[in-house]
Amino acid sequence: MSDVPVKSVKKALDLFSLLVFDDPEMRGIELNVLAGRLGMPANTAHNLLKTMSVCGYVAQNAAGRYIAGPKSRRIGLLNQVENNKFKEKLSAVMERYTAEINEAMVFVTLHGGKRVVLIRTEPALQVIRIDQQVVDAASIYDQPTGRVLTAFAGPEDYRLILKNYGVPDKRWPGYERDMERIRRERQCLILPDPSGINAFALPVSDNRGQMLGAIGCYSPAFRCNQQVREKILAALRRAAADIS
C-alpha cells in the first residue's frame, strides 16, 4: 500500500467492500473474521467499523455481526435504478400499460430525499391529457407517488424528506395514520385531488423486497368511473410486478 496516500481510508474501503460484495444476503460477518481477512488488528477494524456505523455505511445485526448499512443500500438502489438496462425495461413496461389503460403513467424514485421522475409515459390516443409538469410541481405530500415514497422510506431517506419538504402535517393531515394504511394496503389513491384529477400510486420493490420507487397513474375524474379505477389499479399492480 506504499502508493496509497491515506492508508486508513484504504482499510475502511476494504472493510466496506467485504461487507458489500462478500455478504450480499446480509447474514453478517464477525469482527475477527473481517480483521483476519484483511490482516489488520481487531481493534483497528473495530474503530473503523464504528466510524462507518456512525456515518451510516455499516450496521450490526441482532447477532452483533457487521452488515452493510442504510447508506450502502441506498447506493446500491441508486445504481440499480440508474442502470440503462433497468430504464429500458421500465420504459417498455410503462409504454405497454399506458397503451392498455389509455392514461398517463409515471415512475418516481427518491434521490437525496427528493421525488425524482425517472420515466413518464403519455397515452397516444387521448385528446384531453394531464399536464404532468403541473403534477410534478406539487409537494411530495400532495401526490400519491410522493406519499408512497414517504411511507416506505427508510430512516435516512425519511430524514432527508423532512429536511427538503418539512413535516407533512399541514399538507397531509393525519399523515402518520395514512402512512400506516399505505404500507398495509400497498397503494395510495386520491380520488379526486383538488384539481379534479384521480391519482393512483403503488410501491415497486425488487426481488429482495428493497423499494425501487413508486408507479403512478393520473386520469381526469370525468372519465374515471369505478370500472376504470379498478382497471387502472389492476394494470398498476401488473406493471409493478413486471418491473420487479
DSSP 23-80: -TT---B-HHHHHHHHT--HHHHHHHHHHHHHTTSEEE-TTS-EEE-HHHHHHHHHHH
Domain boundaries of the chain, sorted by first residue: 7-68, 76-243
Fold of 7-68: Arc Repressor Mutant, subunit A (1.10.10)
Burial level of 4, CB count in 10 A (0-12/13-18/19+)?
Answer: exposed
Residues of the chain with pLDDT under 50: 127
Fold of 76-243: Beta-Lactamase (3.30.450)
The pLDDT of residue 236 is: 96
Fold agreement (7-68, 76-243): no
**DSSP-derived secondary structure for 108-126:** EEEETTEEEEEEEE--SS-
User: Each residue of 164-194: pLDDT tens digit?
Assistant: 999 998 889 999 999 999 999 999 998 876 6
| CA distances for 173 relative to 168, 170, 177, 200, 201, angstroms | 7, 6, 9, 18, 18
**pTM of whole model > 0.85?**
no
The pLDDT of residue 182 is: 96
User: Each residue of 118-137: pLDDT tens digit?
Assistant: 888 888 765 455 555 655 65
